[in-house]
Structure 1
Amino acid sequence: MLYALYQSAADMMLPMRAWATATGQTLAGGGEGARESWRAAGALCEMVSRATLSHRRPSFGIDEVTVGNKVVPVQEEEVLATPFGTLLRFAKPGVPPQPRVLLVAPLSGHFATLLRDTVRVLLPEHDVHITDWANARDVGLWNGRFGFDEYVEHLIKFLEAMGPGAHVIAVCQPCVQTLAAAAIMAEDDNPAQPRSMTLMAGPIDTRVSPTKVNELAMGKPISWFEQNLIARVPLRYPGAMRRVYPGFVQLTAFMSMNAERHIKAQVDLYKHLAKGEVEQAASIKAFYDEYFAVLDMAAEFYLETVQWVFQEHRLAKGELDWKGRRVNPKAIRRTALFTIEGERDDICAIGQTVAAHDLCSSLRPYRKKHYMQAGVGHYGVFSGRRWASQIYPLVRNTILANE
C-alpha cells in the first residue's frame, strides 16, 4: 500500500509538472523584457517541474582526468556484474599500472554516484573500481534474496575479480560489511585479501556516542520497521512484488533530520532563479539532482542491517555470523587498517569507526592508523575541499605504504 500511494501521487503530479515545464520554456523564450518581467513566474514553474524523484542512476560524468601533466580519457568498464550490483572500473587507457582500489559505496537509498567527488579525487593516482549497486525495484524476484550475507559475498567476489594486491576504501554504512569481508578472506588466507582497508565514517560500533540515526534505529523493535517501512514493488516494474525498503522513505527520513536546511536551500534556489543568478542556482540544482535520485533496497538487506548493526551490534560484540560461520576480525594480520572520522558527523559519531582498531587486535600497531578531521560533518569526510586537500593525502599515503 505504501508504494502504491507514492506511485499514485507521482502519477497525479505528471500533468502539472509537464504544464510547468512547457510554461517555463515559453516564458524563457521571450525577449529580454519578457524575461525580466516573467522571471519570477518562470522560476516558480521550474520549481514545480523539479518537484519529483528520479529512480535511475545519474551519470558519473567523469570523461577525462589529468594524470601527471597529461589529460587522459576515462572509460567506464564492467568488470563483474550480478543482478544486484556491478564492479565498475574507471579505466584510463595508456596509463601505466597504478594502485588498484575498490571503493565500496553505501547501499542506503542513493546510487553510487553519491561518491562522484570521492572517485574524481582518487582517479589521477589510482586504478579506481566502485560497487555500483542496483535499484532493487528493477531486480526480478527470480534472482533471489539480497541480504547482509549476499552483500559481503559480493565484496569478496569483487576483490577476487580485481586480483591480489588491491586496496579497499569503504564509505559509511558498508564499513561493517567491508571489515567482515576482510576478516573472512584473512581467515581463509584468500590471495585477494586487500593490502589496506580504509574505513571512512562507518558504524562499526554504534554504542559509542549514539546519534539521532542510532536512536531512531533503537527506538522501535525490528517488527515495527518491517510492518511500517517495507513495501512491495508495483507490478509495472521488473522487480514486481519484491519486498523493498523504498528509497523515497529513506530520503524522507534523511531530509526530516535537517528539514530547515533543505527548506532554506529550496527557497534560495527559487530566489536565484528569479534573479537570474544562474551559477548560484546551478550548484544547488546539481546537489539536489543527485540527492533526489533514489534507489530501493531489498527488504532483507535493510532489516538485517538495522537489526544486526544498529540494534544488536553483532560485529562490535563478536557475535556476527556470515553464512553460518563466525566473523573473526582477529584473523586480519596482513591488511593495514586506516580509520577516518569527522568532528561534526551527526550520522556516525566520533568513536564509532575507530572501534575497528580494538576488533583487529592481531594487527601490529604500525599497521593501524586513525585520523579525525576537524570541522567536517558526515559528507565532508569523503567529498568537498577538506576531503581533497587534507584527508585524501593521508589515504594515498596509506595505500602507497602498503603497495
Structure 2
Amino acid sequence: MLYHLYELNQAALSPARAAAEAYRLLFRNPLNPASHTPLGRGAAAALELFERTTRRYREPAWDIRTTDVDGLEVAVRPRRIIAKPFCNLVYFERDIPLARRRKDSKLLIMAPMAGHFPTLLRGTVRDMLPHHEVYITEWRDARRVPRSAGSFDLDDYIDYVIEFIRYFQGDVHVMAVCQPTVPVFAAVSLLEAERDRSAPRSMILMAGPIDARENPTAVNRFADGRSLEWFERNVITQVPWPHKGMMRHVYPGFLQLSGFMGMNLDRHITAHRELFHNLIRGDGDSADKHREFYDEFLAVMDLTAEYYLQTIHTVFLRYALPKGEMVHRNRRVEPEAVRRVALMTVEGEKDDISGNGQTFAAHNLCTNLPSSMRQHHLQPGAGHYGVFNGSRFRAEIVPKINSFIAANQRRRGLLARSFGRKS
C-alpha cells in the first residue's frame, strides 16, 4: 500500500510539476521583460525548486566519453560483457591506437547495491580509466525486473561476484566500494578455500562494513537497535502496476532516499536554499554543480526484499562474517583460506557511514595472508564519499591503489601453479 500511495502522489503532482516547468521557462525567457527583474528571477527560482523537489529522478547515464592515456585523449565506450537478470558486467573500452597500446591490468569495480545507481561511481571509473582496463557491475533496479526472473538474495549476490571474477580467469584485481566489501570478501574466501586458480590477484576493500561492531556509526546503531521483523514490517512493500517488477517485494528507493536525506537534513536544506539564491543572482556555475550532484544523489533504485533483509541480518545484526559464522549455500565462509589474494583496505578519517576500523577488520580475519601482501590506507579529512570520489581520492588514494595493483600484477608465480583448479 505504501508504494501505491507514493505512485498516486507522483501522479497527482504531475500536472503541477509540468505547469511549474512551463512557467519557469516563461520567467527565464530573455524576451520576457519580467525575467530581468528580481521578482521574475525569484519566481523562476522558486518554480525550479518545486519541480526538482517533486521529480522522480531517472537512472543517470555514465557519460564517460573520453579519457587520457599517456597524454593522449582517447574515446571510451561502455560495452556490456555479461547480462544477468539483476546485474550487467560493463566494460569501458578505450579506443587506444594500436601503436600506443600497452598491457594494462584489469580492474573489476564492484559497485554498491545499496540504493543509488552504479553511476554514483562515475568519478571512480573516470579516475581509474587512464591506468587500467576498467569493468564495473551495473546493478538493475528491482522494480524493473519481472517476478519471472526469480528472487535475488545475498547468496545470489555472492554467486554473481564469483561468476564475474571467474570470467577473468585469475587476471584481475577487484575493487569493492562500501556495501559489496562483504560479498566480495566472502566470494574471494570461497574461491581460495577451493584453491580456484581464477581467484583475483588482489582485492581492494573501500569503506565497507566488514565488521560493523568497530566504531559504530549512526547507521550501525539504527540497525542494531531494531529486529529483523521491524525492518520487514516497516520498510518492505510490493512494486505496484505498471512497473515490470509488479508484485515483487522490495525495499523501495524512495524510502532509502528518505533515510539518506534524514542523516544530513540541515546540509540538504542549506544546499537547496543556496541554489535558490544562486539562481536569483545568476550564478550559473554554482547552480550547475548543485544540479549535477543532486541529479545523481536523488536517483535511487529498489532493492529486492530478500537481499536487503538477509544483508541486514547477516552484516548488521549477527555480525556473521567477523564471528566466523557466515554461510553461503551451506558452506562456511573461511577468511583464513585467503593466502594468494593480496589485500588492501581504504578508510576515510571522517566516514560517518562505515566507521574507522570496520574495513580494516578484514586484515584481522585473513590470518594466513603474509604481511607483505597487505596494505591499509586511512585518508585524512575524507568522509564516506571522499574515499572513492573527488579531489582527495584522485590525488592521494588513486596513486596508492595503482602502486598496490602494480606490485601484485606479476605476483603469484610458483604459488599459483601449485594449486589446481577445482570444478
Against the structure 1 CA distance between its residues 186 and 249, is the aligned structure 2 distance closer, same or farther, given a 3 Å change threshold?
same
Q: Residue 344 of structure 2 aligns with which residue?
A: 338
Q: Residue 12 of structure 1 aligns with which residue?
A: 12
Kept in 1, the 8 Å contact 2:26–2:32? The answer is: no
Q: Residue 264 of structure 2 aligns with which residue?
A: 258
Listed one character per residue, the Cα deviations across residues 274-324 of structure 1 (whole Å, up to 9, x for unaligned) are: 111100000011100001111000001100111100010000100000011
Deviation at 1:56, TM superposition (A): 3.4
- TM normalised by structure 2 equals 0.94
Selected match of 1:218 from 224, 227, 232: 224
Against the structure 1 CA distance between its residues 121 and 248, is the aligned structure 2 distance closer, same or farther, given a 3 Å change threshold?
same
Kept in 1, the 8 Å contact 2:350–2:381? The answer is: yes
Matches of 2:159 and 2:341, distance apart in 1: 18
Selected match of 2:62 from 54, 60, 73: 60
Selected match of 1:150 from 152, 156, 161: 156
Q: Residue 329 of structure 2 aligns with which residue?
A: 323
Question: What letter matches 2:310 in structure 1?
Answer: E
Q: Residue 135 of structure 2 aligns with which residue?
A: 129
Q: Residue 88 of structure 1 aligns with which residue?
A: 90
Matches of 1:220 and 1:285, distance apart in 2: 35
Task: Report runs of 4+ in structure 1 exceeding 4 Å deviation.
Answer: none
Matches of 1:338 and 1:161, distance apart in 2: 22
Q: Residue 174 of structure 1 aligns with which residue?
A: 180
Stretch moving more, 109-118 or 28-37: 28-37
Matches of 1:176 and 1:162, distance apart in 2: 21
Question: What letter matches 2:187 in structure 1?
Answer: A
1:50 aligns to what SS in structure 2? helix
Deviation at 1:167, TM superposition (A): 0.2
- TM normalised by structure 1 equals 0.98
Q: Residue 360 of structure 2 aligns with which residue?
A: 354
Q: Residue 100 of structure 1 aligns with which residue?
A: 106
Against the structure 1 CA distance between its residues 243 and 385, is the aligned structure 2 distance closer, same or farther, given a 3 Å change threshold?
same
Stretch moving more, 22-31 or 225-234: 22-31
Matches of 2:90 and 2:344, distance apart in 1: 24
Deviation at 1:122, TM superposition (A): 0.3
Structure 1: runs of 5+ lacking an equivalent: none
- Percent of aligned pairs sharing the same letter: 43
Q: Residue 31 of structure 2 aligns with which residue?
A: 31
Kept in 2, the 8 Å contact 1:80–1:161? The answer is: no
Kept in 2, the 8 Å contact 1:226–1:303? The answer is: yes
Kept in 1, the 8 Å contact 2:30–2:36? The answer is: no
Kept in 2, the 8 Å contact 1:55–1:295? The answer is: no
Deviation at 1:163, TM superposition (A): 3.0
Matched, 1:276 2:282: yes
Deviation at 1:47, TM superposition (A): 1.0
Against the structure 1 CA distance between its residues 191 and 55, is the aligned structure 2 distance closer, same or farther, given a 3 Å change threshold?
farther
Q: Residue 49 of structure 1 aligns with which residue?
A: 51
1:339 aligns to what SS in structure 2? strand
Selected match of 1:381 from 387, 390, 404: 387
Deviation at 1:33, TM superposition (A): 4.4
2:175 aligns to what SS in structure 1? strand
Question: What letter matches 1:56 in structure 2?
Answer: R
Deviation at 1:2, TM superposition (A): 1.1
Q: How does 1:159-238 map to 2 (within 5 A)?
A: 159-238=165-244
Kept in 2, the 8 Å contact 1:199–1:339? The answer is: yes
Kept in 2, the 8 Å contact 1:56–1:295? The answer is: no
Matches of 2:140 and 2:320, distance apart in 1: 26
Kept in 2, the 8 Å contact 1:53–1:294? The answer is: no
Aligned residues: 403
Q: Residue 305 of structure 2 aligns with which residue?
A: 299
Matches of 2:309 and 2:269, distance apart in 1: 30
Deviation at 1:195, TM superposition (A): 0.4
Q: How does 1:364-403 map to 2 (within 5 A)?
A: 364-403=370-409
Q: Residue 76 of structure 2 aligns with which residue?
A: 74
